[in-house]
Structure 1
């Protein structure tokens, strides 16, 4: 049986996740950017639902998305879109995230989105860099101000960089 304080933390994380998804959907609609091209839904679940996990920390969150997207962009610019390019880009992004100590599993979708949609270099800045930074800011505010009572044991981040 899960204790009451744990359930409060789970509910606070779920409420934060729902709020972050709503903000992402609103941005997508206003920017007329297809929601499917914004790779943050699983990052939101990780950062809001498991705030003490290493892949949920700012270095992994922001760095993982930047590194993975950059790998996808390099691959699509060099080889064009294609099945083998998509597969290779995802594999290379995994290696690059490990090599840079920015492993963030949800960012593994970034090279797929980039290659399949043949995204431009600007995709690295908006929505990826801006979105990852905004998600980190949202998570900081949510975990440390809004949901501080139920999440008193879940300090976010446990490490910045």
Structure 2
């Protein structure tokens, strides 16, 4: 099924607004490298809003878990030493395993551990820029996806599975 032009316009405008908002936050916090993973999240939230990775559990949970894993592995690298590349690569692998185990896979979040290492981030990274960036994207996606038809894809997010007519 082809995407209707109004929906394409909403995806374009929503992504642009979300990333401009996130960029403004990132500029204040000096963490510019988080923007690429948030850009990937916009593609999923606004381009595939019905997908599992676009739902809050995956979007928010994936970003939070992957970032926390990256922070923990960076702390391990600082304390135990060894090649930074090994620690960074292992942190992405561990983030994937944890996201899979908790059913919170969100592919753009897989970049967050690398960002943590690249920016020498500490635990404050969760409070700024991660949480404000996620909040901006969530708000824009919620508004854009719940616009009246043919503009929105809503209802978004879908917290429960739709019931089939034959089930009780």
Alignment partner of 2:18: what SS? helix
Q: Secondary structure at the match of 1:23?
A: helix
Aligned in 2, Cα 1:152/1:115: closer, same or farther, shift over 3 Å? closer
Greater CA radius of gyration, 1 or 2? 2
Once residues 66 and 139 of structure 1 are traced to their aligned partners in structure 2, the CA distance between those partners, rounded to angstroms, is 18
Tell me how large the CA RMSD over aligned residues is: 2.0
The match for 1:111 is: 113
What's the counterpart of residue 9 of structure 1? 7
Question: Runs of 5+ in structure 1 lacking a partner?
Answer: none
TM-score by length of 2: 0.83
Give CA deviations for 1:75-104 in whole Å, capped at 9, x if unaligned. Answer: 000113710011000010000101111100
Aligned with 1:86 (options 85, 88, 94): 88
Higher share in helix: 1
TM-score (norm 1): 0.86
In the alignment, the residues of structure 2 paired with residue 152 and residue 19 of structure 1 have an alpha-carbon distance, to the nearest angstrom, of: 16
State whether structure 2 residue 50 is matched by structure 1 residue 48.
no
Which 4+ runs in 1 deviate beyond 4 A? none
Change (3 A) 1:104 1:128: same
The partner residue of 1:138 within 140, 148, 158 is: 140
The alpha carbon displacement at 1:20 in A equals 0.9
Residue matched to 2:165: none
Count of residue pairs the alignment pairs up: 155
- Per mean C-alpha deviation after superposition, the further-off stretch among 59-68 and 129-138 is 129-138
Cα shift at 1:153: 4.5
